Amino acid sequence: MPSVLVVEDDPSIRQSLIEVLAEQGYAVRSAADGFGALREVTQAPVDAIVLDLGLPDLDGGDALRMIRGISSVPVLVATARDDESEIINILNAGADDYLVKPFSGGQLLARLSAVLRRTGGAPPASAGGTIGAAPAQAGEPLRPTVVGALAVDPGARTVHLAGQELRLTRREFDLLAFLAHHAGQVVSKRRLLTEVWREPYVDDQTVDVHLSSLRRKLGERASAPRYLLTVRGVGIKLVAPR
């Protein structure tokens, strides 16, 4: 299992990146700043590093040079600056590739697999196969789920409520199918962003917008929920109405 060190100071982005990579079978370690990254690299070898350039303690370029001083590990740099001279600097400082923020989980996995292939490390067997595939339960059997009068069939991509087929958008369907797959469990918005959207940089509000249109199609309101219960500060769960 290849190991990846994620260096990112923003805790929610760091968590999303960790989840995207872990789900693909990478062993993930993380650091919140440049010195933390150097400590991690000296403590135990990693197969690749995803390095945010905007770190609180060290300029990302300096962090990269310091890592290069002690290790030839492949480094994929994440930069908010889409500036050609900056990117040339990063590559000259020893980065193997770069991603411009915001980037999707799919882009990250594709670039990382490519870097690992080029440098002789192999990506995990599962990496690459599910990039861009929307339902997070890829690989698991696509069994229909029945919750109350709601029937979600991931294979046929259909939803019936009391026998009536609902017309959902692709994203609404993926969201409902994920919640149905985890019926009765509270799922955090962050997890929905990671597993349904696969976009670490999508705002939580995006989830709210889709949840509210899903609620409308299910014939309920956030103030009087039946199937989609919000657990304040934690997340959302799909339940059978009482």
List beta partners, residue 231: 235
Distance, in Å, from the CA atom of 10 to the CA atom of 103, rounded to the nearest integer, reads: 15
Buried/exposed 18-50: b ≥16 CB within 10 Å, e otherwise: bbbbebbebebbbbbbbebbbebbeeeebbbbb
Instruction: List the Cα angle 76/130/23 in 5-degree steps.
Output: 65
Choose between 52 and 174: whose C-beta lies nearer to Ca ion.
52
Q: Does 30 bind Ca ion (CB under 5 A)?
A: no
Question: Least separation, in Å, of the C-beta of 224 and Ca ion?
Answer: 41
Q: Does 200 bind Ca ion (CB under 5 A)?
A: no
Distance, in Å, from the CA atom of 31 to the CA atom of 39, rounded to the nearest integer, reads: 9
In this chain, which residue has its C-beta nearest to Ca ion? Answer: 54
Q: Which two tokens stand for residue 200?
A: 């670490």
Binding pattern to Ca ion, positions 44-83, x when CB under 5 A? --------x-x-----------------------------
Choose between 64 and 211: whose C-beta lies nearer to Ca ion.
64
At 102, which amino acid appears? P
Choose between 77 and 152: whose C-beta lies nearer to Ca ion.
77
* Nearest CA-CA partner of 97 in 123, 129, 74: 74
Choose between 9 and 153: whose C-beta lies nearer to Ca ion.
9
Answer whether 176's CB lies under 8 Å from 185's CB.
no
Q: Does 96 bind Ca ion (CB under 5 A)?
A: no
Question: Least separation, in Å, of the C-beta of 138 and Ca ion?
Answer: 30
Question: Least separation, in Å, of the C-beta of 105 and Ca ion?
Answer: 17
Query: φ and ψ at 187, to 5 degrees?
Result: -115, 130
Binding pattern to Ca ion, positions 9-28, x when CB under 5 A? x-------------------
Q: Does 33 bind Ca ion (CB under 5 A)?
A: no
- Using the contact rule CB under 5 A, the part of the chain among 6-14, 98-106, 119-127, 136-144 near Ca ion is 6-14
Distance, in Å, from the CA atom of 153 to the CA atom of 135, rounded to the nearest integer, reads: 12
Q: Does 148 bind Ca ion (CB under 5 A)?
A: no
Number of residues that bind Ca ion (CB under 5 A): 3
Give residues in contact with Ca ion (CB under 5 A). Answer: 9, 52, 54
